[in-house]
Amino acid sequence: MNAMTPARDIRFWDRISEKYAKKPVPDEAVYQEKLRITRSFLPPEAQILEVGCGTGTTAVAHAPYAAHVHATDLSPEMIRIAEGRAREAGVTNVTFEALGVEALEGAPERYDAILALSLLHLVADRGAVLKKLDSMLKPGGVLITSTACLTGALRIFGLIAPIGRALGYLPLLRTFSPDQLTREIEGLGLKTEHRWLPGNGHTLFLVSRKAGGPG
């Protein structure tokens, strides 16, 4: 249930879901590299959680490399499209759930890898979300994030977003720098194992490992 998320945010993502599904990834080579790097951090029989999975492309792509993927998203319409994609691909080890990350109540230390791709700039309380995701990681597990970090002149989006959101044209949007996000994640005790700012340098791809685990 999504009681913790304002209805207008659910409506926004529901409304753009069909368009989002048709939109190609901005840079196919960068996307493929992110998939490759992610897989290099997956143990055999990985239990994966993806939050903000959108139309399910990444969850379906990783499914053959995992024991199970639990893929969640705030928007029931995004999830409906994602379920269709999984069916078409013949993938049976992905469970989709329409649920805001704020309402997720995952068991502690359950997942080998948690993916939050193009999500952390869209949540109101990033600190609480990061803490929750960390609690659901197994010792030695990895948090993999890809986040729009709007700095410099792009901070203007943070100023206009509340107006656009009130009118229903923009989602909730937070601005922060790549270094700030890295510090927040490391502040939870996770160790950065891969840090990449491809292309225009505004999207931070991070692989961060929780202490402990085998070896």
Residue of closest CB approach to ligand SAM? 54
| Distance, CA of 112 to CA of 141 (rounded, Å) | 4
Which range binds ligand SAM by CB under 6 A, 40-48, 73-81, 88-96, 201-209? Answer: 73-81
Dig out the tokens for 137 from the structure: 């990681």
Using alpha carbons, select from 48, 81, 79 the residue that is nearest to residue 65. Answer: 48
Residue 133 within binding range of ligand SAM, rule CB under 6 A: no
Residue 59 within binding range of ligand SAM, rule CB under 6 A: no
| Distance, CA of 83 to CA of 65 (rounded, Å) | 18
Residue 53 within binding range of ligand SAM, rule CB under 6 A: yes
37 burial (CB, 10 Å; 0-12 / 13-18 / 19+) is: middle
Pairing type for strands 191-196 and 203-209 reads antiparallel
Which range binds ligand SAM by CB under 6 A, 115-123, 161-169, 173-181, 186-194? Answer: 115-123
| Length of the chain (residues) | 215
Residue 136 within binding range of ligand SAM, rule CB under 6 A: no
Residue 93 within binding range of ligand SAM, rule CB under 6 A: no
Dig out the tokens for 140 from the structure: 């030695």
Residue number, 5 or 47, with CB nearest to ligand SAM? 5
By CB under 6 A, what part of segment 152-191 binds ligand SAM?
none
CA-to-CA separations, 6 to 42, 47, 73, 100, 175, in angstroms, rounded: 34, 30, 14, 10, 20
Interface residue with ligand SAM, options 61, 69, 81, 101 (CB under 6 A): 101
**Could you tell me which residues are beta bridge partners of residue 187?**
none
Interface residue with ligand SAM, options 46, 51, 69, 86 (CB under 6 A): 51
Interface residue with ligand SAM, options 78, 114, 137, 190 (CB under 6 A): 78
User: Can you give the binding site for ligand SAM, defined by CB under 6 A?
Assistant: 5, 13, 51-54, 73-75, 78, 100-102, 117-119, 122-123
